[in-house]
Structure 1
């Protein structure tokens, strides 16, 4: 049987653009450092190979694989390259977020909101939205869900491993729950996984067991559509030995350990983790004289220079292996190479197959087991845990035996059974090669993958068509591709005159592809939605509410979590509320006006002290706040980073739009910050006297017309700036 070949095919008439996200580990297109650490394993192989093979299909225009840019002398400079081509329209794109150095995945959670912003910048630069977002693992799922909600793009997710299952395993192994939580932050991860399940259009798993036994532990599983698509294997790399000579570097790396190198080999390859049960495998071999007489043992457990420099968990596993090899006096029978280059791994499979050996996965549990597929493609029979993925693989390929990996005696007996029956060995070998080609090749994987994706995209198109009686009703926001943004206050600016309001909404509809629409208001989000619905104004792309304390997107009212995290700095709400009890002539507004990041008071002129005096008082208590007084009646107390103006500047950064691309309109004192500065500002004719201080300032236009008519007058005034901005982008 011929190995799969990669032919560049012409693209179809409407090929799709897939955005893949995999945040952690060391990701590059070749010479993958698999096993270097717990974060650089099978997931890395899968996402890189999936991107490559999808891009070869004529129905796929391009695939961008987004990951983290790493500048760290302790890792290869490859990971600091912003872009790496994979061929045929696939590439790795590395975005900087968090610290420059390489850090483990559990520490990335603090920086994922920044990752969302960086991804949005990248998407804007592409000039078109992806058709699909496919995320890998919970950290990327968090980022992808935010993008999906913000942009209205379907989300497909692959978990690879799940928080509930991992926490359960660690606690069962004897770890204390509080220590496990401190190290792995499972509560946040599991909460994110629940949220992803509730939102994703499709969750891809490798086996049915993942759905039933792992995802089955989650509350939102009933609302999720799953598809079992087994990972592919590159059969151009993994194939039977044939007559070709085995690479001498691979053979020497093994044989130098062995007294009788020509004997069959029991081969295991995995990261040095407790759950991989390498200790149980050595025990099975060490306690079986018959197994030792029949075969050598080869264990490739990641890469190491000095065991003492490994992470604590890996250090313990490797130390125990060496101690057990000594305990059972296995010197000359066990090979434990320090480093095997990725290009030599297929050679090891072929070497073991040529010597009529067996591949063993001794893990306690195995969601899938990509190495089992690699071994099968190499004509090597397998022994694997009676759990998860191996059950499916053996059922499909009929190329080995399952065993109870919790019992070292059973591992030994099953290995002996495969090695002793030569006729059965040959049948397992032949079945494995044929079974992989039928069930686990990349062409087979991509074919099933795209079939499922077409269902997702067709469903999404139907949803959009139902919503698009007018294109304005689409849930897809125009912000990422917009070149300008119109942000208006609501009361006494956008609202006040129905005729001019209708004209403004018509203008928004006419320019909706190029101009994002937003509101900035002192109202709460609930009040904002109610008043807009009452006046039949479509829900904007972005809503800055509660005087800049909150930001929401689109019809689904997606909160900007990054903004909330940003303004939380130095915010002590309860202490501020207690401090304001000193000012007896200032009274709290009703409860429905109070928010997590906003305290609102009634404060009449003559009753409220000068704001400078209030600031001094708060500073004496080491309290920090932004005080906004408007309409000679309302005092809003906000975090020091919160205001309408700060929110617009945050959006300018987040959406990669210069401030001169923001046309803002307002009428009162709480609009001053967003009107002043580099924005193109409109002050409507019915403005309050508080804004007179802005007269004669550059880029602040005072309309003669009132309400929405004043916005239209301002738009006409800035017509040249609009046309210039849009022309620059070729619209």
Structure 2
């Protein structure tokens, strides 16, 4: 038996596979657990949209059958007919009970065999199999190879990226393996990439930052087809939005509620950068005169009950509101229901407002599409998915999330030019219909799969091989200011080498700068986001691609840390002056130091006498950072190396100032680039594993790559075994 699109009918038969979670044709239990989230909604809406297409004869959505008193009997039905062209087929595999996706791996071969038996009982095979997530990718690969059916795959998330987020949550490598079967997941993803004819992603950034790190990645295999948006839910104002109960709740604390609404809607997460929006609004009397600011940031009863990151976001927002005296101009509603979100957009649109997404990083930007579909112009971060959205919809302005002035300027521009804004709104509504509706999605989808089914556009397989290690096995660490800011051509050569070896090499930036300052400098010099960012002198660790903060590291640093006591003890110490607020963080008290007046050893002694367990770090002869005793760039680097299971002997550290010394001591390979601050590291000249480069900045780093054969043997020639 074989696919029969060349039989009596050319209408397509499509099989979708989404194994884990709870899937049914009505009342999806979104958010019930980690497995019943966005993927289940995406797959169901895709199936429904495909079934509406005239060229599609049948859509079958395959998932696992569950018989469990803890869940609805709906999930025990072997088939659920949704309409004459669409049904859900539930396959028996493993225990009858509902189990998490991490427990499914031993049962996937049974799922594949039982799904194959289902195919054999039918009159024809599907024309295409489309798998969703790694578990379905594994099953889809087996069926595609067994029956010679083309495989399409959507990853939704990837194991190698997920592993970085789990490391950030505080789990070690063994825990990640035991809890998440990560090596099996990544193997399944590689196997799927080796089999699939096409892989569908939501954005170009998803390809560049996630799929490129896989061994069987092929650029020709990837297709960007953004998910559809339910335009029945998200639609322009109907005329009664400003008279309802929800509007009263949103505007109850505003002095002049009739003004247009600048709307932001996101989780209370540092990466969402909402505080920059408040700063942008506070800096502009023009904006305050013309519009109110409404920030919908999750739900809260008592802020002190929220996790620490969310608490910090709200305290920052309230501090900015107080600093700029924005009372009565900014609303931070405490509660809203998920079902109210479409109406919130419509209220902002009916008021003549604008939607803002100022996130530091935004892989896709679903809220922007929802806002556009609701008749709002948008102001959005230039990072990631919003670039694609505005390129398609032409309905707003991209801003630099690290520069609040660009947010201010964009909002002033939109609110000041009614005719231009009206054109943006219309272009946004049309753009969503053309590019982000389910009709548009399925149109692009069918245009992609039909030539594959007819064997006109099969993927030409390149000779790709798996490398030995599953994960990266070495790391390159560099500071910013004294290493990467001088020779643009050499910098690009260095970055090209790192990109060429990104599957094996972890790229780490370690700097005394704050995260936002470091990101600004990276952007200015066109340095791509590293895998790991160690900032604020080693007190903060963030991981790509979503700048996920390592909460376990923060908890580790809090030991005996009392910054208010440090500031009080050093308040009148001669030769010290506090740096601006922008340079202070919760785990870093920063001073300018005049070393002609202030004595570093005396400062350390004074803090010790006052029972303060701290690290005092001097850099560039003029900056003094007081950190928790457990914090430094070297300690942070060792923590990252341990989490990622990379031996120090395979880590190359490039440094140029005294603040880099504890990263360079010990077992790591190191290079001191020949800059004007290398005298601060002159005491390291007798250490064999530290190479003093003849060249400065990026040229010195390239010299060290060759000296250590970093991308090859990765060892010092002084310690390499002698031949013969």
Q: Give how far 1:171 is off.
A: 5.6
Corresponding position: 1:285 with 2:278 = yes
Q: What pairs up with 1:214-613 in 2 under 5 angstroms?
A: 214-222=210-218, 225-243=221-239, 245=241, 248=244, 250-251=246-247, 254-255=250-251, 261-269=257-265, 272=267, 277-278=271-272, 280-282=273-275, 284-285=277-278, 288-290=281-283, 293=288, 294-299=291-296, 301=298, 315=307, 318-324=310-316, 328=320, 333-336=330-333, 338-342=335-339, 344-405=340-401, 414-415=410-411, 418-419=414-415, 421-459=417-455
Which residue of 29, 43, 53 corresponds with 1:47? 43
Does the 8 Å contact 1:246/1:347 carry over to 2?
no
Q: SS state of the match for residue 10, structure 2?
A: coil
Q: Give how far 1:392 is off.
A: 1.4
Q: What pairs up with 1:134-283 in 2 under 5 angstroms?
A: 134-168=130-164, 184-222=180-218, 225-243=221-239, 245=241, 248=244, 250-251=246-247, 254-255=250-251, 261-269=257-265, 272=267, 277-278=271-272, 280-282=273-275
125-134 vs 147-156, which deviates more? 125-134
Does the 8 Å contact 1:251/1:351 carry over to 2?
yes
Measure, in 1, the Cα distance between the counterparts of 2:175 and 2:410: 37
Corresponding position: 1:22 with 2:15 = no
Q: Give how far 1:431 is off.
A: 1.5
Does the 8 Å contact 2:268/2:313 carry over to 1?
no
Question: Which residue is equivalent to 2:601?
Answer: none
Deviations 1:607-666 (A, max 9, x none): xxxxxxxxxxxxxxxxxxxxxxxxxxxxxxxxxxxxxxxxxxxxxxxxxxxxxxxxxxxx
Question: Which residue is equivalent to 1:132?
Answer: 128
Does the 8 Å contact 1:258/1:296 carry over to 2?
no
Higher Rg: 1
Measure, in 1, the Cα distance between the counterparts of 2:442 and 2:28: 22
Pair 50,15 (structure 1): closer, same or farther in 2 beyond 3 Å: same
Does the 8 Å contact 1:231/1:440 carry over to 2?
yes
Aligned pairs, number? 444
User: Which protein is richer in helix relative to its size?
Assistant: 1
TM-score of the aligned structures, taking structure 1 as reference length = 0.52
Q: Give how far 1:323 is off.
A: 4.8
Question: Which residue is equivalent to 2:614?
Answer: none
Deviations 1:362-383 (A, max 9, x none): 4443333333222212211223
Deviations 1:4-62 (A, max 9, x none): xxxxxxx9933121111123444444455555655444433332221111111122111
Question: Which residue is equivalent to 2:663?
Answer: none
Does the 8 Å contact 1:194/1:218 carry over to 2?
yes
Q: Give how far 1:399 is off.
A: 0.9
Q: Give how far 1:241 is off.
A: 1.2
Does the 8 Å contact 2:15/2:129 carry over to 1?
yes
Measure, in 2, the Cα distance between the counterparts of 1:54 and 1:324: 46
Measure, in 1, the Cα distance between the counterparts of 2:257 and 2:71: 34
198-207 vs 167-176, which deviates more? 167-176
Structure 1: unaligned runs, 5 residues or longer:
1-10, 464-731
61-70 vs 155-164, which deviates more? 61-70
Over the aligned positions, Cα root-mean-square deviation in angstroms equals: 4.2
Does the 8 Å contact 2:202/2:224 carry over to 1?
yes
Q: SS state of the match for residue 217, structure 2?
A: helix
Q: SS state of the match for residue 277, structure 1?
A: helix
Measure, in 2, the Cα distance between the counterparts of 1:69 and 1:305: 38
Question: Which residue is equivalent to 2:111?
Answer: 115
Q: What pairs up with 1:31-70 in 2 under 5 angstroms?
A: 31-32=27-28, 34=30, 38-69=34-65
Measure, in 2, the Cα distance between the counterparts of 1:159 and 1:102: 22
Q: Give how far 1:390 is off.
A: 1.5
Deviations 1:663-686 (A, max 9, x none): xxxxxxxxxxxxxxxxxxxxxxxx
Q: SS state of the match for residue 87, structure 1?
A: coil
Q: Give how far 1:424 is off.
A: 3.9
Q: SS state of the match for residue 153, structure 1?
A: coil
TM-score of the aligned structures, taking structure 2 as reference length = 0.53
Pair 386,186 (structure 1): closer, same or farther in 2 beyond 3 Å: farther
Pair 398,14 (structure 1): closer, same or farther in 2 beyond 3 Å: same
Measure, in 1, the Cα distance between the counterparts of 2:431 and 2:418: 20
Does the 8 Å contact 1:84/1:91 carry over to 2?
yes
Does the 8 Å contact 1:284/1:411 carry over to 2?
yes
Measure, in 2, the Cα distance between the counterparts of 1:75 and 1:364: 39
